[in-house]
Amino acid sequence: MSKAFTIATVLGALVSTTLGHGYVAGIKANGVYTEGWQVSYWYDIVNKAPYPQSPGWYEEALDLGFIQPSAYHVVHTFTCVDAMHRTSDIICHKNAVNANVSATVPAGGSVEFYWTTWPHTIGPVLTYVANCGGDCKLVNKATLKWVKIDESGIDFTTQVWASGALINNNNTWTTTVPKTLAPGHYVFRHEIIALHGGGSLNGAQNYPFCTNIDVTGSGTANPTGTLATTFYKETDPGIYFNPYVTMTNYTIPGPALWTG
Ligand SMILES: *[C@@H]1O[C@H](CO)[C@@H](O)[C@H](O)[C@H]1NC(C)=O
Ligand SMILES: *[C@@H]1O[C@H](CO)[C@@H](O)[C@H](O)[C@H]1NC(C)=O
Ligand SMILES: *[C@@H]1O[C@H](CO)[C@@H](O)[C@H](O)[C@H]1NC(C)=O
């Protein structure tokens, strides 16, 4: 067997195992669509080709993969030159780096998150915001304190999970920004937790994606947030459980919802 053939076969196998997942490819903030970070930009960077600036954060999940529960509490600080490779991936996905530009939404307005074709029907959808306290392109992500502004688990009547509803809605999810949220430069962290493997410890799959969005308006609320590295535990009732039964209760993971 030639070496070229072997490499092509391995690549083919890699591609076919990766088709199952996805990412946030764009957002519509206050009705305006903006492309998010595209996985293909990583190859542009490697090839020294130009790529557009986007409010979506750089991340390196080239396999369209996920963060697993064993990484929930991994804490790294940004003090050295290899910051790009020492990161707490639960914050904004694998080796995430700040976006340099921001979208804009008024408090009370909505943000739609456009996912690539989403395959996993079981699991909640959550959206968090963190005030950067200045320009979001410069903030240290490890210091961001997140407030959960939107969460959805399962409809007990239909047994349709939020991720299934997202698929049925053209792979999009709409989050309303609480009207009272103070204006400022924010990072929005939108996440699906896929739970088709939730019956096993470390079987959950977290897909968090970050986008810089400036919030405008005259709100005055500055709710207290939580570090992303303290959101979840491997044994949370909404992370580690058998989803293949008729669900009659579900404890949505993460800190309490703040609705303004
Ligand atoms: C943002 O700009 C900085 C400085 O020019 C650059 O190093 C970084 O890669 C940019 N971030 C993204 C996500 O393109
Ligand atoms: C569905 O989403 C795609 C982008 O992901 C968009 O191009 C298309 O217009 C959307 N379709 C509808 C009916 O909204
Ligand atoms: C459902 O409620 C029971 C009893 O309180 C609890 O033990 C269990 O963890 C809950 N299940 C989920 C998936 O939240």
**What local confidence, expressed as pLDDT, does residue 3 receive?**
39
User: What is the rounded distance in angstroms from the CA atom of residue 241 to the CA atom of residue 197?
Assistant: 9
Ligand 1, atom 2, residue with closest C-alpha: 100
What topology is assigned to 3-230 in CATH? Coagulation Factor XIII; Chain A, domain 1 (2.70.50)
Q: Give the number of C-alpha atoms closer than 13 A to the C-alpha of residue 96, restricted to the C-beta side.
A: 29
Local structure of residue 178 (DSSP, 8 states): P
Atom in ligand 2 nearest the alpha carbon of residue 25:
5
CA distance 59 to 100: 13
Averaged in consecutive runs of 10 residues, what is the pLDDT profile of the chain (260 residues)?
Answer: 38 44 97 97 96 96 95 73 64 96 98 98 98 96 97 98 98 98 98 98 98 98 97 98 98 97
**Which residues are near ligand 3 (CB < 6 Å)?**
237-238, 241, 249-251
Look at residue 20 in the predicted model and tell me its pLDDT. 58
Task: Give the residue ranges of DSSP H helices in the chain.
Answer: 3-18, 40-46, 89-92, 162-168
Instruction: Establish how many alpha carbons lie within 13 A of residue 155's alpha carbon, considering only the half-sphere containing its beta carbon.
Output: 9
pLDDT at position 241 is: 98
Q: Is the CB of 115 under 6 A from ligand 2?
A: no
**For residue 85, what pLDDT is reported?**
46
Q: Which residues pair with 130 in a beta bridge?
A: 146, 187
Closest C-alpha to ligand 2, atom 1: 170
Evaluate whether 189 touches 129 at the Cβ level (below 8 Å). Answer: yes
Residue 86 per-residue DSSP state: S
Query: How far apart are the C-alpha atoms of 23 and 107, rounded to whole Å?
Result: 25
Report the pLDDT value the prediction gives residue 105, as an integer from 0 to 100: 98
**Amino acid 86: pLDDT:** 54
SS3 state of residue 117: coil
CA distance 236 to 192: 16
Q: In the chain, what are the domain boundaries? A: 3-230
Which token pair is 116?
A: 């690539």
Distance from Cα 38 to the centre of ligand 1, integer Å: 14
Q: How many CA atoms lie within 13 A of 105 on its CB side?
A: 29
Q: Is 117 in the pocket of ligand 2 (CB under 6 A)?
A: no
Report d(CA 126, CA 122) in Å as an integer: 13
Q: What is the pLDDT, as a whole number, of residue 53?
A: 96
pLDDT on residue 78: 53
Q: What is the pLDDT of residue 46?
A: 95
Residues in the chain: 260
Give the global pTM.
0.91
